[in-house]
Amino acid sequence: MSLPEPRDPAGPYRISVVCLGNICRSPMAEKILTADLERAGMSDLVEVDSYGTGDWHVGGGMDPRAASTLRVHGYLTHHTARQFAHDVLATRDLVLAMDLDNVDELRRVIDEYGERYGFDMSRLRLFRSFAPDVSANPEVPDPYYGGDDGFTAVLNMVEAAAKGLTGELVTRLRR
């Protein structure tokens, strides 16, 4: 899968990860991808942040189960939830949705505002599409209403996709 070209070749490649409430999946993906990029020596070339499509948790922290899962695996956990706004499109090279409902919501935003910000659908992908072994379901399921094992499953899915994405970013940006 090829990545979209950087919008600003002189600046960092900017990625936003989006889920529903920005307290579980997208902040986990943000922290894991950021750690992978740091290990690959890419932290000066790529910026990662995260958002939710909904506003329920804006200003709050990460779900304690998500934070605990990250912490156990050696990742950072500081996070403040925020909602995706159309003006984010102006500066992002890639927006990664965690599931198809998030894709649908982001498509509506892109349909309405994408032309204004020069952001087209080729810059919207499912996060898990970068995993090397995505089976029939490329979504990262929402663990919010389940138990701790759901957060561990999400972590494993996100780690695989983050490694794949990091590899593509290394290939694209290290010239």
* Span 56-84, pLDDT tens digits: 999 999 999 999 999 999 999 999 999 99
Q: Which of 14, 19, 93, 128 is catalytic?
A: 19
Amino acid at 168: E
Question: Is there a catalytic annotation at residue 24?
Answer: no
Neighbour-count burial of 10, counting CB atoms closer than 10 A to its CB (0-12 exposed, 13-18 middle, 19+ buried): exposed
For the four alpha carbons of 139, 144, 146 and 147, in that order, the dihedral sign comes to positive
| Span of 41-45, 136-140, 151-155, 167-171 with lowest mean pLDDT | 136-140
Per residue in 94-125, is it b (16+ CB within 10 Å) or e — as a string?
A: bbbbbbeebbebbeebbeebbeebebeeebbb
- pLDDT value at position 137? 82
Q: Which of 25, 92, 125, 128 is catalytic?
A: 25
Question: Is there a catalytic annotation at residue 104?
Answer: no
- pLDDT value at position 78? 97
The residue-averaged pLDDT of 144-152 equals 95
- pLDDT value at position 86? 98
Compute the CA torsion angle 8, 13, 19, 24 (nearest 10 deg): -150
- pLDDT value at position 133? 79
- pLDDT value at position 175? 64
How far apart (Å, rounded) are the C-alpha atoms in residues 14 and 11?
A: 9
Query: Cβ neighbours of residue 24 under 8 Å, at least 6 residues apart?
Result: 62, 63, 65, 66, 142, 143, 144, 151, 154
Question: What is the pTM for the complete model shown?
Answer: 0.96
Amino acid at 38: E
How far apart (Å, rounded) are the C-alpha atoms in residues 12 and 74?
A: 25
Structure tokens at 33: 């991808």
